[in-house]
Structure 1
Amino acid sequence: MPSRARLDEFIAVVESGDHAGAIERYYTEDASMQENAAPPRVGRDGLVARERGVLERMSHVYSKAVSSVLEGDQVAIHWIFELTDKSGKVRRVDEVALQEWRGDRIFRERFFYDPTEAK
């Protein structure tokens, strides 16, 4: 079960823009991420590589946690992301992430957002 301090530390790393580093430091080796109803992606190394690929296509990423709830091993975070690609197109994603933690690391995460926002 994560402490509030550990969760706040994770949020601060994401808000700083170090998304790939957050995955490396705060996710279990066998972690999974799932976008809405898509099949989950499994394995921290692959999750980090995918995140780096997304970030390479961006000129700027703004990340803000609007709120977070911690209940035992269950965490919910309301995020606002603004992603500016290299052509200057800005996408705003209003997302809720539901996380299951194993100790002080994230084991499972599922994102809920309007998929038309992410295109």
Structure 2
Amino acid sequence: MTESQITTAVDELIALVAEGKPMEAFAKFYHDDIEKTDLDGVTHQGKTRIDKMGHQQLADIVMVRDFSAVGRIVKGNRSFIVWSVDLDNTSGLLKVVEVAIQDWQDGKIIRERYFA
């Protein structure tokens, strides 16, 4: 994919999340062999496993005050999305500004790491 194509894909991913469709974005833009490292530093592998975890995380959300993209950069085959998150889940309050660093391969995100 070119930078322009990745930029278009990132914009669509952000739009789907803004519409409340994060799992649709996951289904469309994530590689079957995805490797994802969460804020806690734990790495998970495989689209099926991460999809199941994502559905559980969404089920645990009680209230969302903010979940928006506040910036993005695409350079080469890497994208960076800055997310503003303010929500309550069954574990308590989550309020953070985080950066998702995404490496693209074959038109999909193959590796994603989160930093706050």
On whether the aligned pair clears a TM of 0.5, the verdict is yes
Q: Is the 8 A contact 1:32 1:40 kept in 2?
A: yes
In 1, Cα distance between the equivalents of 2:22 and 2:95?
Answer: 16
Q: Show structure 1 runs of 5+ residues with no match.
A: 114-119
CA RMSD for the aligned pairs? Answer: 1.9
In 2, Cα distance between the equivalents of 1:28 and 1:64?
Answer: 23
More helix by share: 2
Q: Show structure 2 runs of 5+ residues with no match.
A: none
In 2, Cα distance between the equivalents of 1:47 and 1:111?
Answer: 14
**Aligned to 2:41, what secondary structure does the other structure show?**
coil
Q: Is the 8 A contact 1:31 1:44 kept in 2?
A: yes
Q: 2:11 aligns with which of 8, 12, 20?
A: 8
Indicate whether 1:74 and 2:78 are aligned: yes
**Aligned to 2:79, what secondary structure does the other structure show?**
strand
In 2, Cα distance between the equivalents of 1:50 and 1:109?
Answer: 15
**Number of corresponding residues:** 112
**Per-residue deviation at 1:37?**
6.4
Q: Is the 8 A contact 1:23 1:47 kept in 2?
A: no
In 2, Cα distance between the equivalents of 1:17 and 1:59?
Answer: 14
**Per-residue deviation at 1:36?**
4.1
In 2, Cα distance between the equivalents of 1:56 and 1:39?
Answer: 20
In 2, Cα distance between the equivalents of 1:20 and 1:52?
Answer: 8
Percent identity, please: 28
**Per-residue deviation at 1:39?**
3.6
